[in-house]
Chain A
Amino acid sequence: MTTTAHVNSAAVPDLDNLAALESEAIHIFREVAGEFDRPVILFSGGKDSTLLLHLAIKAFWPAPVPFPLLHVDTGHNFDEVIAFRDHVVEKHGLRLIVAKVQDWIDDGRLAERPDGTRNPLQTQPLLDTIAEHRFDAVFGGGRRDEERARAKERIFSLRNAFGQWDPRRQRPELWNLYNGRHRPGEHVRVFPLSNWTEADVWNYIAREQVELPSIYYAHRRKVFKRDGMWLTEGPWGGPRDGEEVTELTVRYRTVGDGSCTGAVESTASTVEEVIAEVLASRLTERGATRADDRLSEAAMEDRKREGYF
């Protein structure tokens, strides 16, 4: 009978979990290369975008990656991450486009927020840069395990001319046949890591020995406490009066805008130690270290509707 015809042939071992996820991501990269005119990879130097780049390199080997990289730089980044970003670009001979939030503030298109965080300010420079370069496919490292609104995201996610996501009008995603059709002005966000979890990402980083910025591993750092998170000193304003600086052994679980990305106390200094810590943690990576997701119960959904990743 038709529905059981496939069940019995277990002679060849199946791909293990990580190999299956890798093959799926490579398939997605190649679909985009084949279907779109002007794709770009969003690259911040964080672990997810570094993994994204690693998979892109594997997808097109031995040819170079046929897309440029785009970094939306809030101006509040960690020095180690910017150094790592430039090192990776140099090493693989890639083209990097940087959209600096500061430029948008300087010419009045954006205004600094009273709370000093620039994370929400990334949306407009991102959309402006997509329009300027006429990018039609934009790869992001988003994963569906990160957040409830992201769990609804498609691998190919159509955005209108304003970059907006409408969760009620998403295309059904069938088999591995991705529909990248779009009208002029629209673009598609593509998430090859959709089906990966934080544990998958770390296990794969360990298996493939992917190099990451040093701040993912334990180091001594001067930090101060704000809203229950350990923030580091920096140009984003801090410490303020009454915020006391102490030196701790910490590491970062996510890498984003310094004003809202907190460090966790940790002595994990190798990939293996980080994996053990991630598996034992009782907090999600965003719950632990991202202030911007705490703004409201639907913070991520609201930002995605506006065009954020």
Chain B
Amino acid sequence: MSSLLRLATAGSVDDGKSTLVGRLLYDTKSVLADQLDAVTRASVDRGLSTPDLSLLVDGLRSEREQGITIDVAYRYFATPKRSFVLADTPGHVQYTRNTVTGASTAQLAVLLVDARKGVIEQTRRHAAVLALLGVPRLVLAVNKIDLVDYDEETFRVIAKEFTDHATSLGYADGSVLTIPVSALAGDNVVERSARTPWYSGPTLLEHLETVPVAPDPHDAPFRFPVQYVIRPRTPEHPDYRGYAGQVAAGTVRPGDEVVVLPAGLRTTVQRIDTADGELAEAGAGRSVTLVLADDLDIARGDVIAVAGSAPVPTDELDATLAWLSEKPLRPGARVLVKHGARTVQAFVEELSSRFDEQKLSTLESPETLQLNEIGRARVRLAEPLPVDEYEVSRRTGAFLVIDPADGTTLAAGMVGAPLPVLRSDRDVVSPGP
């Protein structure tokens, strides 16, 4: 069976993102006749002579009316080599919020720029957000290359500027690729273009099909948030007690010594159960049920971790917040924090800095964090959580900030400071009172 690559797109308005996604779907024959008929009809209604591929993906009535993408949409396509889940994120004003949503699960992101405009503020900002969210690989698609007469020099300048920017964000050379494309004409998206003989790299699709999927960190220390306790109490299984969840990091095997957090109880993994039978090991991403050697009091929200390398539960988080709500954050705000399978009460003690994605610098002690802004905060928790640093583990270092009044998701939270620039302003947060 093929593997699965989760990717996200990012780019500003009018740089042709919907057209690129439409082109990927169209050229991989992921668009079926009735969908194409609908697009052709709608294009003719607008007086266009060829089908507008962006209409394949702009699904909402108001999006078609305005010709823009409003919200993250998910697209699916497959080739014999790989299946793809693509989070198609809009580029307009709500940029950070949507980019954060698309990037949180992405293993690769495709950023677009218009070859005539080059790297703009929005490109830098998007790349910073993608780096912050820990997206392991970037592709810069230099689009509309046909409109600069397939000029190599224009491409080289943009590619160098972008690669330098990505490097300053912490990306290594091998994790960033730049490709000259024309989404409209189809150059180097799926089909190799004869009009860019100076470009010897892969087409976008070739790259997506062959890039190593950043695996979940199997060799990281084992982490397992308990989602649900399975107790059948049926005649066949009167005494069964299993702890259901998804391996968040690392690998587990029967016989492993583990510790249950936050209580700190030690025991041994007896069995790894699934409906299809026992497993000899389970790696990150797999949903299983653990049966432990001792009868301990374990509930939803607890974390089972490898005994030798378990996190120390803390009731104070030094974290980076990407603020996603129209309601600004002020120090002292009472919120809920959801980490793994546990939700605890919390309050934001201090806003220590705000990140300027454009200048890649930080502003000390801001009064608020507004919609789409990213900053560092100190968060006090009513109960301790066994967190990891986000840069070590995307799963166990991430949390949601939720409004206790109406349940709105206010922020994407990342433990620590995943970008060097966020770290530079202050070293370690002082211990709480």
A interface list, Cβ under 8 A from B? 1-7, 9-12, 14-24, 26-27, 30-31, 33-34, 57-64, 144-145, 147-149, 151-152, 158, 167-168, 170-177, 179, 181-183, 194-195, 197, 199-200, 203, 281-284, 287-288, 297-298, 301-302
Contacts and interface: CB of A to CB of B under 8 A. Distances in A.
B73 A6 contact: no
B31 to A, nearest CB: 9
Contacts of A199: 78
A167 B32 contact: no
A306 to B, nearest CB: 14
A181 B232 contact: no
A170 B218 CA distance: 33
Contacts of B227: 27, 30-31, 33-34
A170 B408 CA distance: 9
A167 B218 contact: no
A63 B98 CA distance: 39
B171 to A, nearest CB: 6
Contacts of A174: 100-101, 104, 398, 400, 409, 412
A167 B134 contact: no
B228 A58 contact: no
Nearest to A20: B4
A147 B73 CA distance: 11
Contacts of B174: 4
Across chains A and B, which 10 residue pairs bring their CB atoms closest together, nearest first? Answer: A181-B407, A148-B59, A287-B34, A16-B1, A61-B275, A63-B232, A2-B391, A58-B275, A26-B287, A12-B218
Query: Which residue, of A18, A21, A179, has the highest number of chain B Cβ atoms within 10 A?
Result: A179
How many interface residues does chain B have, given as a range? 35 or more
B402 interface: yes
Nearest to B88: A151
Given A63-B230, A179-B409, A152 B71 contact: yes
Interface in B212-237: 212-219, 227-228, 230-234, 236-237
Interface string B331-354: 000001011110000000000000
Contacts of A298: 60-61
Query: Which residue, of B60, B171, B219, B399, has the highest number of chain A Cβ atoms within 10 A?
Result: B60
Contacts of B170: 1-4
A14 B3 contact: yes
A200 B1 CA distance: 11
Interface of B: 1-4, 32-35, 38, 42, 56-61, 64, 70-76, 78, 83, 85, 97-98, 100-101, 104-105, 131, 134-137, 169-172, 174-175, 212-219, 227-228, 230-234, 236-237, 240, 244-246, 251, 273-276, 283, 285-287, 289, 300, 324, 336, 338-341, 391-392, 394-395, 398-400, 402, 406-409, 412, 418-419
A2 B418 contact: yes
A282 B59 contact: no
A140 to B, nearest CB: 16
Given A23-B285, A297-B64, A170 B3 contact: no
Given A174-B400, A179-B409, A301-B60, A195 B76 contact: yes
A173 B336 CA distance: 16
Contact of B400 (A31, A148, A179): A179
Contacts of B175: 3-4, 7
Contacts of A172: 72, 97-98, 100-101, 324, 409, 412
B14 to A, nearest CB: 21
Contacts of A197: 76, 78, 83
25 contacts: A2-B419, A3-B135, A4-B170, A15-B286, A17-B1, A17-B2, A20-B285, A33-B228, A34-B228, A34-B341, A59-B287, A61-B230, A62-B234, A151-B59, A151-B73, A151-B75, A172-B72, A173-B101, A175-B395, A176-B395, A177-B338, A181-B336, A181-B406, A200-B83, A298-B61
